[in-house]
């Protein structure tokens, strides 16, 4: 048996000299072997006999007939699961090390007799045609803000032609995050394509008729697209592959973010803004590799509008007798003087601002889920007068603004202090009057010294409440003699 290289050398030398002996010598083979290959005009692989015999017993002989029956009925079953099932039903007749042989045989059987696989069709993308937008959960990145787990999503936009991408962290798949994510992407891009493409989620569409699958665009989404000069477009229901570019790019983006977090050696950020800037930096690095094709799109993009579409929603809510206003199912406390009043809630992706007659009365970070946001300063005066309400107050856990306050309350209860609730509420009252930082520092010092957190003792240590001091600034009187000296030097 000769090698393929010998056969090629034989044919080359024979065509050059026409002598069998010389060609055989150059190729390193016997003259009769050379004549046989020259007569066959084919290489050693074609002349080699097919290997149809076994060199060892078939390790799958006991289970393969049943395996074929299973594959014919359920070709989607995994080879490993089928092997484990058949090995259990035929104990002692098959060895575990035959798994790889079984997997190869199943793969070969499926190639010969299995059903056709799904075919994917490459699509031609036009430059500056559309911007695909979608959301992806980012919990696997394990990002924390100030040491607390940040449960968030990424609102991700991609230009299919160049694969340019941008993403921002957001709390939910909502119209607010769509407004912010889409506009941030366009302003970073510096222009507007023809279409904005999303899936059929409720952020962009709604069901036109009950019990019908047909959906139409939301009025708010249409207004956003009209302001930006975009034509809205959606994919078919249940066909995420039609948004394939952004769907595929999501996994790559999260891998980039994870690698950069590893290189950063920390997954903790001081604020959501710092984390958003980190995501933006990763996107800029990825887009730096797409400059050539992006340049083709940039020249075809239409100009941005003069300003951004408002990215917050304004709701009118009523302050209940509980001193709370409910926004999207979440309770937020406001000053008690507004009980029974209708106020405006300005809702953005990150914050909730409460405004009464153009004056901001409270501001909170958006609550995730249904978690309440209660500021003890709004209700402490009433609680001090009604200390018995504290023990079963449904928002009681929100009245421990720092761990040291919770520790103080537990210390009071453990010490058997009569009316521990009232004693703790007096501490909260001091925090509202003197400042939370000062009271927290005094509480920590007392408990480290082994003393009971007593409101009277802390009040003795504190100065009077911080007063606003007016700063007196002396009037500025310019001196002109310096300019006179400068002018005299220039003239001379």
For the chain, the structural domain boundaries read 4-47, 64-113, 130-298, 313-365, 376-460
Model confidence band, residue 356 (pLDDT cutoffs 50, 70, 90) = very high
SS3 track for 338-350 = HCCCEEEEEECCC
pLDDT surpassing 50 at residue 468: no
User: Which pairing describes strands 324-327 and 231-234: parallel, antiparallel, or unpaired?
Assistant: unpaired
Dihedral of CA 60/66/71/77: which sign?
Answer: negative
Dihedral of CA 35/39/44/47: which sign?
Answer: negative
pLDDT for the residue 375: 96
Q: For the residues 108-131, what does the mean pLDDT come to?
A: 90
Residue 475's φ and ψ, nearest 5 degrees, are: -65, 140
pLDDT for the residue 473: 46
- Across the chain, mean pLDDT equals 89
Q: Please, where are the H alpha helices in 316-414? A: 376-385, 403-414
pLDDT surpassing 70 at residue 108: yes
Give the C-alpha separation, 76 to 384, whole Å. Answer: 67
Q: What would the two tokens of residue 304 be?
A: 């941005």
Q: E-assigned strands of 160-246?
A: 164-170, 195-198, 205-207, 215-217, 231-234
For the domain 130-298, what is the CATH superfamily, name and number?
A: Ribonuclease H-like superfamily/Ribonuclease H (3.30.420.10)
pLDDT for the residue 471: 39
In this structure, how many other beta carbons lie within 10 angstroms of the beta carbon of residue 166? 26
pLDDT for the residue 469: 39
Give the C-alpha separation, 368 to 330, whole Å. Answer: 9
Q: For residue 402, give every residue at least 6 positions away whose Cβ sits within 8 Å of its Cβ, in sequence order, or none.
A: 436, 440
Give the C-alpha separation, 401 to 427, whole Å. Answer: 12
pLDDT per residue as tens digits for the range 221-265: 999 999 999 999 988 776 666 777 898 899 999 999 999 999 999
pLDDT per residue as tens digits for the range 318-350: 999 999 999 988 999 999 999 999 999 999 988
Give the C-alpha separation, 179 to 310, whole Å. Answer: 8
What is residue 386's DSSP assignment? Answer: -
pLDDT for the residue 396: 95
Measured between alpha carbons, how far is residue 86 from residues 49, 113, 310 in Å?
35, 20, 63
pLDDT surpassing 50 at residue 472: no
Model confidence band, residue 119 (pLDDT cutoffs 50, 70, 90) = confident
pLDDT surpassing 90 at residue 407: yes
The angle formed by the CA atoms of residues 247, 248 and 252, to the nearest 5 degrees, is: 120
Nearest to 173 by CA among 154, 195, 193: 154
Task: Please tell me whether residue 90 adopts helix, strand or coil conformation.
Answer: coil
């Amino acid at each position: 048996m000769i090698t393929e290289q010998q056969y090629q050398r034989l044919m080359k030398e024979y065509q050059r000299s026409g002598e069998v002996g010389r060609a055989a010598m150059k190729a390193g083979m016997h003259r009769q072997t050379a004549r046989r290959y020259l007569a066959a005009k084919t290489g050693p692989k074609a002349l080699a006999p097919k290997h149809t015999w076994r060199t060892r017993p078939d390790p799958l002989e006991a289970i393969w007939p049943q395996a074929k029956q299973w594959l014919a009925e359920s070709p989607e079953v995994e080879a490993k699961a089928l092997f484990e099932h058949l090995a259990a039903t035929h104990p002692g007749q098959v060895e575990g090390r035959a798994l790889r042989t079984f997997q190869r045989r199943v793969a070969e059987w499926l190639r010969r007799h299995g059903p056709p696989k799904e075919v994917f069709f490459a699509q031609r993308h036009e430059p500056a045609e559309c911007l695909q937008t979608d959301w992806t959960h980012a919990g696997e990145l394990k990002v924390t803000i100030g040491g607390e787990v940040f449960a968030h999503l990424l609102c991700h936009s991609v230009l299919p032609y160049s694969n340019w991408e941008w993403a921002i962290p957001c709390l939910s798949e909502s119209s607010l995050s769509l407004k912010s994510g889409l506009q941030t992407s366009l302003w970073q891009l510096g222009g507007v394509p023809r279409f904005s493409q999303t899936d059929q989620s409720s952020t962009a569409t709604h069901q036109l008729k009950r019990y019908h699958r047909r959906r139409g665009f939301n009025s708010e989404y249409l207004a956003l697209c009209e302001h930006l000069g975009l034509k809205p477009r959606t994919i078919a229901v249940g066909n995420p592959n039609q948004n394939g570019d952004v769907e595929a790019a999501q996994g790559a983006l999260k891998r980039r973010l994870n690698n950069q977090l590893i290189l950063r050696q920390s997954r903790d950020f001081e604020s959501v803004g710092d984390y958003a800037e980190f995501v933006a930096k990763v996107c800029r690095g990825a887009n730096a590799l797409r400059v050539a094709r992006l340049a083709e799109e940039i020249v075809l993009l239409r100009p941005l509008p003069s300003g951004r579409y408002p990215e917050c929603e304004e709701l009118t809510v009523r302050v209940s007798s509980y001193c709370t206003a409910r926004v999207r199912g979440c309770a937020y406390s406001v000053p008690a003087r507004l009980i029974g009043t209708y106020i405006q809630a300005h809702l953005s992706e990150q914050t909730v601002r409460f405004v009464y007659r153009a004056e901001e009365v409270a501001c909170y970070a958006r609550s995730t889920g249904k978690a309440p946001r209660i500021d003890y300063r709004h209700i402490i005066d009433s609680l001090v007068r009604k200390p018995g309400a504290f023990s079963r107050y449904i928002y009681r856990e929100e009245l421990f603004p720092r761990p040291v306050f919770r520790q103080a309350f537990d210390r009071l209860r453990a010490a058997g202090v009569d009316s521990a609730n009232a004693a703790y509420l007096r501490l909260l009252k001091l925090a509202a009057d003197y400042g939370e930082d000062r009271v927290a520092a005094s509480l920590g010092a007392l408990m480290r010294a082994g003393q009971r957190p007593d409101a009277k003792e802390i009040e003795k240590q504190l100065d009077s409440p911080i007063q606003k001091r007016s700063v007196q600034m002396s009037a500025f009187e310019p001196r002109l003699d310096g300019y006179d000296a400068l002018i005299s030097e220039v003239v001379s």
